[in-house]
Amino acid sequence: MTTNKLRIAAFQRYPVFDDLQATLAQLRTDLQWCQEQGVELALFPECYLLGYSSDAQTIARRAIAIDSPVFKQALQQLSAFNTDLILGFFEQRVAGIYNSAAVLRQGQLMGVYAKRHPNERGIMAGSASPVFARSGWSYGINICNDANYPACAAELRQQGARLLCYPLNNMLAPATAEKWRSKSIDNLRQRAMETGCWLVSADVVGEHEGKISHGCTCIVAPDGRVVARVAEGQEGVAVFDIG
């Protein structure tokens, strides 16, 4: 068992849609802050790169391949920072479109996780649960709806993960958002306690086209304690030294 500390940060951000340069500019600002604060791993919301959608046509328009000029541009613009970055996007593969999260390190793609239980139209289900390492810590990714499936977290733990990372997008119809307001936190706490892992989530916040996200960005200890959380209804960052 590692005795190292790992400083992690989870960013709660207003969603940006179809504006790559605006998103990359915000990411550079946030990663510069991370570098100054000694943050080693930073997590951003689900499909943060070009914006989330559940509409098949919009998803298809936003989907990009990891060997595309758009993705390579993102790698290049984020290469100056030594913080590991977990960045969500709709990924175009030969087999179809996936809801994915990439791990980036100094402009290098370390790997990609595809959502195992997608709830968006036309999205393929991922089949692999890769584990990554930073500063003696192994970490893995589950995306949003995956949090409702304990087996997803358990599979990462079985592969040696000590930290579970959850990009979220809880931008929902107001009544549904209210329903999940506490349930999202409860789910994450359960996954932490079941696996004995630390857990971090990053969510969008605000209102968009009649939907609302209160924000569920937090860091949870293995015993289920929420040790850091961004206030509901506003942008911010949760930071904690785990270990």
Task: Give percent above pLDDT 90 in the chain.
Answer: 98
Q: What pLDDT, on the 0 to 100 scale, is given for residue 3?
A: 63
Confidence band for 36, pLDDT divided at 50, 70 and 90: very high
The CA-CA-CA angle for residues 75, 77, 79, to 5°, reads 65
> Can you tell me the distance from the alpha carbon of 8 to that of 240, in angstroms, rounded to the nearest whole number?
6
Q: What is the distance between the terminal CA atoms of the chain, rounded to a whole angstrom?
A: 10
Residue the block writes with tokens 């997803």: 152
Under CATH, to which class is 7-242 assigned? alpha beta
Mean pLDDT of all residues belonging to the chain: 97
* Half-sphere exposure in the Cβ direction for 173 (13 Å, CA): 3
Name the percent of the chain lying above pLDDT 70: 99
Quick check: 1 pLDDT over 90?
no
65: helix, strand or coil: coil
Q: Give the pLDDT confidence score for residue 92 in this predicted structure.
A: 98
Sorted by where each begins, the domain ranges of the chain are: 7-242
pLDDT tens for 193-237 read: 999 999 999 999 999 999 999 999 999 999 999 999 999 999 999
pLDDT at 134: 97
Strand partners, 139: 132, 163
Helical packing angle, 20-37 and 69-77, nearest 10° = 30
